[in-house]
Amino acid sequence: MVNQQTEIEQKYDVDEDAEVPQLDTLPGVTRAGLPHTAVLEAVYFDTERHTLASHRITLRRRTGGTDAGWHLKLPPLEADASGAEPQQRPELHAPLGQPDVVPDSLLARLQAYLRGQEVAPVVRLETSRTTHALYGEDGVHLADLADDLVTAELLHKGEGGGAAGGGQKQHWREWELELVHGEPGLFGPAGKLLAKAGARPAGHASKLARALGNAPGARSATGVSPDGTRSRSESTPALVAGKKAPAAAVVTAYLGRQIGEILAQDPGVRLEEPESVHNMRSALRRIRSVLAAYKKLYVAAPVRQLRDELKWLGQLLGGPRDAEVMLARLRGQLDSLPPGDGVDAVRTEVEHNLGGTYDDGYRLLLAALQSERYFRLLDSLEAFRDNPPVLPKSVAPGRRMAAKAVDKAAKRFRRSRKGAKRARRGTEHEAALHQVRKDAKRLRHVAESAAAVHGKRADKVAKAAHRHQKILGEFHDSVVARDLLAAIGAEHSVPATTGIYAELLKRQEEQMLSTQAGDRKAWKKSRHLLGKGVL
């Protein structure tokens, strides 16, 4: 069983002879509890290349204290490599289990970073922790100040199992203020009080980062080793494009956010958590749309290869996701019909068909997520983000290039709308409306990428495009449901179910007409926004 919480803390370096100040003088603190000392031993796990540490991830097995067990700390929600601001980090706990066997529930959350690499013990920490609990009115437990005396021992193994930096020991003292039920406003006054007692903002993001230090192969929280080299899966600071940024920076910032979303959703996909497949698939689509829109900024071959691989993964995600969406849709429609044997029979047939499609698709997806091809894709995405294969025009002003990209996407959208008007009724018209939906999606994504340099206007364009995408997505789902029901009905229809299939098919046709009317209405509202000269 895994327990997840958000850790909010601030770390400080402090000298051996510093004295803990009078903590009950802090605003809102009515008393400080009696100090309590415990000895904690933690073994930290990582790869030989310290891949987890480079992403500011810590995996440890701790004994002693009140929270013995396996702990996984994920990257800070808002990374601050300086250590000047409190860190908010998702933290997951699992029972102690076996000393050298990482629980599957935690390991699943690391595969997108490990990419086939194995983890092993790298550091052992022994901490003598004296905890000072801070209480507010009515005895509310606001925070804990941990006064830690730390001994760290490197456990590196060389080739053949020999020592390679193992056995080295370090000693230091640090303070750690962690919120329990208090508010972040406590950190300001506490920081000033602790500074007067000799505390300094921590020079390392974690005890593990300090313990690794200059160890062989060690990399800092920014992913840089002492010799200046970078790991293949290093952590990269948040990318932000200002309004005067060059075109490539606008694209890189947007891609960086989507790559972060892929890494964040990977564990949920592996564990079949709700919406994870959809969210990862959406991030892939955003990257493909933006790479297509700004392809003239880059060398053609890397962009084409990356888009092809993104398409491969997107199709694998689409199998279970589309079956899941269709199953939810038809379940809802069947639930709205009067109960009876015919409804139950159709429900069984639909569940069997779509359930099998979902299971088969998910098996293929999970196999792909363990493949070298998937890991290479993640490497390629990060390499593109960190060292994009740019052409000279990539230094052009981002505002101008983004405006051109959005205008081109809007023109494409308008052209496909005209094509749908001219298309003959039936499958030709349905295919044309599906193309309108895809072009609306691309326009939405490109407008999102332009928001950093065009602000609210780009946001409005993205929202308008999303409305069309959503409406026409409902139309497409109706088409798919119609064809699926016709196929199942033709194979399994009996007198008891014939009327049920007919009613469901009628509903799909009605929905198709309704969504087309909704799209026309949405176009009347958005025509002024999505016309010529969008930005």
pLDDT at 234: 42
pLDDT at 101: 94
Please check whether residues 168 and 265 belong to one and the same domain.
no
Please check whether residues 199 and 338 belong to one and the same domain.
no
What is the per-residue pLDDT across 178-208, written as a single tens digit (0 to 9) for each?
Answer: 999 999 999 999 999 999 999 999 998 889 9
Residue that terminates a domain, selected from 212, 232, 258: 212
Q: Which of 81-85, 307-311, 319-323, 443-447 has the lowest mean pLDDT?
A: 81-85
- What the block records as the tokens of 34 is 């009696």
What is the per-residue pLDDT across 352-389, written as a single tens digit (0 to 9) for each?
Answer: 999 999 999 999 999 999 999 999 999 999 999 999 99
pLDDT at 214: 57
100-104 long-range contacts (CB < 8 A, ≥24 apart) are 102/45, 102/59, 102/70, 103/2, 103/70
Q: What is the 3-state secondary structure (H, E, C) of 201-218?
A: ECCCCCHHHHHHCCCCCC
Q: Is 168 part of any domain?
A: yes
Q: Is 288 part of any domain?
A: yes
Please check whether residues 149 and 279 belong to one and the same domain.
no
**Does an H or E element contain 475, and which?**
helix 427-492
> Of the candidates 516, 517, 493, which has an alpha carbon nearest to the alpha carbon of residue 505?
493
Give yes or no for residue 75 having a pLDDT over 90.
no
Work out the number of other CB atoms within 10 angstroms of the CB of residue 266.
21
pLDDT at 199: 97
497-515: b (≥16 Cβ within 10 Å) or e: beebbebbbebbeebbeeb
Structure confidence at residue 347 as a pLDDT band (50, 70, 90):
very high
* Per-state percent for the chain, helix, strand, coil, to nearest 5: 55, 20, 25
Please check whether residues 141 and 277 belong to one and the same domain.
no
Structure confidence at residue 78 as a pLDDT band (50, 70, 90):
low
Please check whether residues 138 and 268 belong to one and the same domain.
no
Q: Among 12-26, 157-171, 223-237, which range has the highest average pLDDT?
A: 12-26
pLDDT at 231: 40
DSSP 486-531: HHHHHHH--HHHHHHHHHHHHHHHHHHHHHHHHHHHHHHHHHHHHS
Torsional class of 275: left (φ above 0), alpha (ψ -120 to 50), beta (otherwise): left
Q: How many domains, in total, are found in the chain?
A: 2
Calpha distance 398→250 (Å, rounded): 6
Give yes or no for residue 279 having a pLDDT over 80.
yes
Q: Is 223 part of any domain?
A: no
> Of the candidates 127, 422, 381, 418, which has an alpha carbon nearest to the alpha carbon of residue 258?
381
Structure confidence at residue 80 as a pLDDT band (50, 70, 90):
very low
- Residues contacting 422, CB < 8 A, separation 6+: none
* CATH number, domain with residue 137: 2.40.320.10
DSSP conformational letter for 295: G
What is the per-residue pLDDT across 199-237, written as a single tens digit (0 to 9) for each?
Answer: 999 998 889 989 988 555 554 433 333 333 334 444 444
Please give the share of the chain, as a percent, with pLDDT higher than 90: 82
Q: Is 83 part of any domain?
A: yes
User: What phi and psi, each to the nearest 5 degrees, are found at residue 255?
Assistant: -60, -40
CB 44, CB 60: distance < 8 Å? yes
pLDDT at 220: 42
Please check whether residues 293 and 162 belong to one and the same domain.
no
Please check whether residues 150 and 261 belong to one and the same domain.
no
Sign, CA dihedral 67-71-76-82, equals: positive
What domain range is 366 assigned to? Answer: 247-381+394-530
Q: Is 99 part of any domain?
A: yes
Calpha distance 172→15 (Å, rounded): 8
Give yes or no for residue 160 having a pLDDT over 60.
no
Q: What is the mean pLDDT of residues 437-461?
A: 96
Q: How high is the mean pLDDT of the chain?
A: 90
Please give the share of the chain, as a percent, with pLDDT higher than 70: 90
Please check whether residues 207 and 253 belong to one and the same domain.
no
Q: Is 401 part of any domain?
A: yes
Q: Is 222 part of any domain?
A: no
Residue that terminates a domain, selected from 212, 230, 259: 212
Residue that terminates a domain, selected from 169, 196, 212: 212
Please check whether residues 171 and 290 belong to one and the same domain.
no
Please check whether residues 186 and 267 belong to one and the same domain.
no
In DSSP terms, 124 is beta-bridged to 43, 153
How far apart, in Å, are the Cα atoms of 427 and each of 13, 58, 179, 306, 423?
69, 54, 60, 32, 9
Please check whether residues 166 and 77 belong to one and the same domain.
yes
Q: Which of 328-342, 415-429, 485-499 has the lowest mean pLDDT?
A: 485-499
Structure confidence at residue 84 as a pLDDT band (50, 70, 90):
low
CB 72, CB 57: distance < 8 Å? yes
Q: Is 450 part of any domain?
A: yes
* CATH number, domain with residue 449: 1.40.20.10
What is the per-residue pLDDT across 92-137, written as a single tens digit (0 to 9) for each?
Answer: 999 999 998 999 999 999 999 999 999 999 999 999 999 999 999 9
Please check whether residues 48 and 169 belong to one and the same domain.
yes
Work out the number of other CB atoms within 10 angstroms of the CB of residue 124.
17
